[in-house]
Amino acid sequence: MNEESSFGSSSEQEIEIQYSKQAEKFFAKQRYLPKSEVRLLLVKAVRHLTKVELSNIDVKFLTGSLQGFYRIRKGNVRIIFSYRNGTMVIVTVENIDVRGNVYE
């Protein structure tokens, strides 16, 4: 599933968010982190990573088998994603789950 939203205040760059099947399953089985909040966290993280806006978000570049991906921490939930920056920023959410399960 794809979603689009406005990204930058001055650049007006668009962001497209793509969710993996696992991420969609996570949204279907839980209720404490809605998709709308995940979308806001992803936009905030990409803006932080591209230095458009420095914000207080816990985002980290991953290493090892998950090299090339980033992690957002929101309470006990982890969001694993990657992004490509071009005329449109494309964010791909690979995995969302609780801390103990997300890295498996």
Cα separation of 87 and 21, whole Å? 26
Q: Is the residue at 2 inside a domain?
A: no
| Residue 83 domain-assigned (yes or no) | yes
Q: Which residue has the tokens 């982190």?
A: 33
pLDDT of residue 50: 86
Residue 24 lies in a domain: yes
CATH code at 51? Answer: 3.30.2310.20
58 to 35, 37, 42, 64, 79: CA distances (angstroms): 18, 15, 11, 19, 11
Domain total for the chain?
1
Q: Max Cα separation, the chain?
A: 39
| pLDDT score recorded for residue 2 | 62
pTM as predicted: 0.84
- The pLDDT of residue 99: 86
80 - beta bridge partners? 71, 95
The tens digit of pLDDT for each residue in 8-66 reads 443 457 889 999 999 999 999 987 899 999 999 999 999 999 888 888 899 999 999 99
72 found inside a domain: yes
Of 5 and 52, the structure prediction assigns the larger pLDDT to: 52
Residue 63 belongs to domain spanning:
15-99
In a domain, 76, yes or no: yes
